Amino acid sequence: MPRVMTEKPKSHGRLKVRPTLTPRALMEDTPDLVNTWTARVITLFPNAFPGVLGQSLTGKALDMGKWRLEPIDLRPFGEGKHKNVDDTPAGGGAGMVLRADIVSKALDKAAEGTPTSRGRWPVVYLSPRGRRFDQTMAKNWARAEGVTLLCGRFEGVDERVLEEYQIEEVSLGDFVLTGGELAAQAMIDATVRLLPGVLGNATSTEDESHSHGLLEHPQYTRPAEWRGRAIPEVLLSGNHGAVEEWRREMSEALTRARRPDLWAKYEENKG
Ligand code: SAH
């Protein structure tokens, strides 16, 4: 079974149980199989998926059915022999704009079988004009049942479809990409790693950067000395309390130095 569905998304409530998953594993690791967290991505480049999401821990979790990815190809919704999806901007100017009537057909497809509440299923247009994506948004998305992400290309999409469908614009950062696909993958990655059972014990989402409003402390591993640089002694002391304290101090110092904005918020919340 292909793990990426480029055709019609199946109703998301049913996941085929693979023979490799024993009933025991199902119960322990994936209590939410009936409602597997799903990303539906409307794109002109469905072959760009899973992309980097197919690698490492997110890829393994995808193979195991711990989350689902359903790219929806925008092209077949296009018009005429060439399946045109775009047209020149009203008012003139360079580039092309994705048509509202075409995009709406893909959005209708993506909405099939999903809850209408945006809290339970956010519907998002990737856009440099949008609210900046952050860890809090990733947590909210992970708590939802899935998301629909609309990837723009060219100059973007006709404004009317964004209004009509009450689509939230979300940005990866203050720069302009060629298309929404990389942004979608980055946001899906940040979300999926928060789902239960995706990271396993391999790494923790508890005390990494941004989880408590601080940046992470420095990390070290063997060799104990490299090019005359030693690992900070406290980390080799075996004194867990001292290690914890050192890490917290480093976290705070780094955040204060590099991200005064985060530091101010952190202090506010503490007080
Ligand atoms: N003309 C638009 C930019 C279009 S870039 C503007 O000035 O706002 C083409 C597509 O890339 C966009 O439709 C959007 O889906 C995607 N994109 C570009 N930059 C992005 C960013 N920072 N975050 C998320 N998506 C982005």
Residue pLDDT, tens place only, 170-194? 999 999 999 999 999 999 999 999 9
pLDDT at residue 203 in the model: 65
Lowest mean pLDDT among 5-9, 27-31, 161-165: 27-31
Residue among 43, 44, 74, 127 to mutate when testing ligand 1 (max atoms within 8 A of CB) = 127
Question: Residue 168 pLDDT > 60, yes or no?
Answer: yes
Question: Residue 122 pLDDT > 60, yes or no?
Answer: yes
Residue among 41, 125, 126, 153 to mutate when testing ligand 1 (max atoms within 8 A of CB) = 126
Question: Residue 74 pLDDT > 60, yes or no?
Answer: yes
Atom of ligand 1 nearest to the CA of 175: 22
Each residue of 181-230: pLDDT tens digit?
Answer: 999 999 999 999 999 999 987 567 877 889 889 999 999 999 999 999 99
Amino acid (1-letter code) at residue 138 = A
Rounded to the nearest integer, the mean pLDDT of the chain is: 90
Ligand 1 centroid from CA 167, angstroms: 15
Residue among 154, 172, 175, 177 to mutate when testing ligand 1 (max atoms within 8 A of CB) = 177
pLDDT at residue 224 in the model: 96
Residue among 133, 162, 176 to mutate when testing ligand 1 (max atoms within 8 A of CB) = 176
The neighbouring-strand residues paired with 124 are: 149, 168
Atom of ligand 1 nearest to the CA of 151: 15
pLDDT at residue 14 in the model: 37
Cα torsion through 155, 157, 162, 164, rounded to 10: 140
Confidence of residue 17 (pLDDT cuts 50, 70, 90): very low
pLDDT at residue 34 in the model: 61
Angle, nearest 10°, between helix axes 181-192 and 56-63?
Answer: 80
37/34 Cα distance (integer angstroms): 9
pLDDT at residue 31 in the model: 43
pLDDT at residue 200 in the model: 80
pLDDT at residue 35 in the model: 85
Query: DSSP assignment, residue 179?
Result: B
User: If residue 68 lies in a helix (H) or strand (E), which one and from where to where?
Assistant: strand 68-73
Ligand 1 centroid from CA 238, angstroms: 49
Atom of ligand 1 nearest to the CA of 172: 23
129 and 71 in contact (C-beta within 8 Å)? Answer: no
59/4 Cα distance (integer angstroms): 11
50 and 62 in contact (C-beta within 8 Å)? Answer: yes
Distance of CA 65 to the CA centre of its chain: 17
Atom of ligand 1 nearest to the CA of 176: 19
Instruction: Name all residues whose Cβ lies below 6 A of ligand 1.
Output: 126-129, 151-153, 155-156, 171-173, 175-177, 179-180, 183
Query: DSSP assignment, residue 84?
Result: B
Confidence of residue 9 (pLDDT cuts 50, 70, 90): very low
Lowest mean pLDDT among 12-16, 20-24, 150-154: 12-16
CA-proximal residue: ligand 1, atom 12 (nearest): 152
Spatial CA neighbour of 155 closest among 128, 174, 130, 137: 128
Ordered domains of the chain (ranges, CATH) = 17-192 (3.40.1280.10), 207-270 (1.10.1270.20)
Q: What is the mean pLDDT of residues 63-88?
A: 98
Q: What is the mean pLDDT of residues 27-45?
A: 75
